[in-house]
Amino acid sequence: MTIESYLKKHSEALVKDVGIEAACAVTGRSKATLGRYYSEDEEHGDRFMPVDVVARLEAAASFPHVTAALADLRGITLSGEPERRNSGPRGMNQEVVVLAQRFAQLMAEYHESISDGRITVIEAKRMLRETLALQQILIEIKMNLEAEVNGETG
């Protein structure tokens, strides 16, 4: 998978996380423009989402898809705090949504990685980091469930 393809896939995941209609409202961009940012068609190959658009979308998203992708390309693993700076703690339902999105991203990366019949070391490391992020989300879900069982939440 090329860097361009990797970034476009994460840009698409970001828009889908927020929802296309909401993404248009948040960014002031049209559906067509947002679609061009993650389109892998040759005519849009050199178009990428501007940083200000990424920032606005990630503020509304459940996960910083593009930021995580950029960090991943540098070999950096982002560590999410239980509470984000601009919102309250995620509830159980939100954790499950994030888990599903991250798992779907992992499966897409796996599919892309094996398309040539082998997984490179870089691809394996990328999927390992994503697997560790999934594990962290599962731990958060487990802690929420334990709190429910122990009567620690409403």
> Measured between alpha carbons, how far is 149 from 136 in angstroms, rounded to an integer?
20
Question: Could you tell me the pTM of the whole model?
Answer: 0.57
Domain ranges of the chain: 3-149
> What does the block give as tokens for 42?
């040759």
- Spatial CA neighbour of 49 closest among 26, 74, 72, 78: 26
Work out the percent of the chain whose per-residue pLDDT is above 90: 29
Contact 5, 40 (CB under 8 A): yes
Contact 113, 1 (CB under 8 A): yes
Residue 114: exposed, middle, or buried by beta-carbon count in 10 A (0-12, 13-18, 19+)? exposed
Range with top average pLDDT, 3-7, 22-26, 97-101: 22-26
Residue 85 confidence class, pLDDT cut points 50, 70, 90: very low
* pLDDT tens per residue, range 92-103: 778 788 888 888
> Measured between alpha carbons, how far is 96 from 87 in angstroms, rounded to an integer?
17
Contact 139, 80 (CB under 8 A): no
> Measured between alpha carbons, how far is 55 from 49 in angstroms, rounded to an integer?
10
Q: Three-state DSSP class for 117?
A: coil
